[in-house]
Amino acid sequence: MKPNLASLLDYYYESMYPELKALEEKRLSTMATLKKAAFILLLISLILFFVLHQAFMFKPLHAALVSGMSAFLIFMFIYRHESAGYSMLFKDQVIEKIIHFLDPSLIYSKMSSISELEYQRSELFIASYDRFVGNDLVMGKIEGVDVRFCDLHVEQKVRDTDNKEEWVDIFQGLFFIADFNKTFHSKVVVLPDIAERKFGVLGSWMQGMNVQRGKLIKLDHPEFEKFFVTYGDDPIESRYILSHSLMEEIVQFRTKVGKPLYLSFVDSKLYLAMHYTKPLFEPILSHSLLEFTSIKDYFELLSMIVSIVNEFKLNEKLWSKR
């Protein structure tokens, strides 16, 4: 039987709840430590403010900035240290169990990710990057299809107008790879259509001038064209890969998740990326684990990811190897 919320609820109380009670104590202990640290640092920052202002003649604004920033940086160090242990336990006792509930054959490695080579091969994001961090790798076969996905964060170091270094996101979110069960010789890259939606005909012209991406491919699917812009080496093979039914499935999935999708078809594999503004599988310290809704959110996210195989019918060998 396909896992659903009703069966998850039974699994939650029968298999997860006893261990989650102990983990909940760890969460409460961590919260108490952080609250105590925040209170102590608040007192210290107030004392530091008055010392800087009265003894060292700092202006009130400067004294507030120095004392406040110092307290904040110390608190963030304490927060990362205290929450790290809880996060590891959470992933062992919650995320891994939900993954195995969805499919016992899947392998979960919380400290691993896809490789930089896999990321580069996808050609979804071609900007140079300076930091590549990933975790929560899930891999295995879903209905006979090889899949790998993880939480990924890729950044570039730039300089602002004041020549100060800062980190800019190239990509943060879900990165998914699946065997497309089809041999083809060209590549196809499908990106969110931002230019044409904003600038109309001018945007369409701009898309065609993107020489780094290859040839602009126009497809006979108005709804797909509304969401996406497609580039490929070979227009004929691009249309062979992006059949009408596959475009329909991609549009339906895009509508369902409500997020821009990035897809590419390279070396008989499907690469898919979805932006998220926060880590996907980290615990929220303020949420109790003894409330089913906290677990349900992670289940729904993982169910959506696992469903990509069925949503795109990757398990149906519609195309023969050639």
The per-residue pLDDT for 182 is 75
- Asked if residue 239 has pLDDT above 70, the reply is yes
Written as six digits, the tokens of 279 are: 């880590």
Q: Report, in angstroms and rounded to the nearest whole number, the Rg of the chain calculated over CA atoms.
A: 24
Confidence at 1, pLDDT banded by 50, 70, 90: low
**Among 27, 35, 173, 139, which Cα is nearest to 90's?**
27
The per-residue pLDDT for 210 is 56
The per-residue pLDDT for 211 is 57
Tell me the domain boundaries of the chain.
1-106, 111-280+291-321
Averaged pLDDT of the chain: 90
Percent over 70 (pLDDT), the chain: 93
> Using one digit for the tens of pLDDT, what is the confidence trace for 82-108?
999 999 999 999 999 999 999 999 999
Question: What would the mean pLDDT of 228-252 be, rounded to a whole number?
Answer: 94
- 21-29 long-range contacts (CB < 8 A, ≥24 apart) are 21/290, 23/86, 23/89, 23/90, 23/93, 23/94, 23/289, 24/288, 24/289, 24/290, 26/85, 26/86, 26/89, 27/86, 27/283, 27/285, 27/288, 27/289
The per-residue pLDDT for 128 is 95
DSSP 92: I
- Asked if residue 319 has pLDDT above 60, the reply is no
Question: What are the respective helix, strand and coil percentages of the chain, to the nearest 5?
Answer: 50, 20, 25
Query: Residues of 253-283 as b/e, b for ≥16 C-beta within 10 angstroms?
Result: bbeeeeeebbbbbbeebbbbbbeeeeebbbb
Confidence at 57, pLDDT banded by 50, 70, 90: confident
Residue whose structure tokens are 């640290």: 37
Question: What would the mean pLDDT of 201-227 be, rounded to a whole number?
Answer: 72
> Using one digit for the tens of pLDDT, what is the confidence trace for 287-305?
999 999 989 999 999 999 9
The per-residue pLDDT for 160 is 85
Confidence at 261, pLDDT banded by 50, 70, 90: very high
pTM of this structure? 0.89
> Using one digit for the tens of pLDDT, what is the confidence trace for 149-185?
999 999 999 988 888 899 999 999 999 999 997 778 8
How many residues in the chain?
322
> Cβ of 318: how many Cβ atoms within 10 Å?
11
140, β-bridge pairs = 147
- Tell me whether residue 148 is exposed, middle or buried, using C-beta atoms within 10 angstroms of its C-beta: 0 to 12, 13 to 18, 19 or more: buried
- Is the C-alpha dihedral spanning 136, 105, 292, 256 positive or negative? positive
> Using one digit for the tens of pLDDT, what is the confidence trace for 111-164?
999 999 999 999 999 999 999 999 999 999 999 999 999 999 999 999 888 888
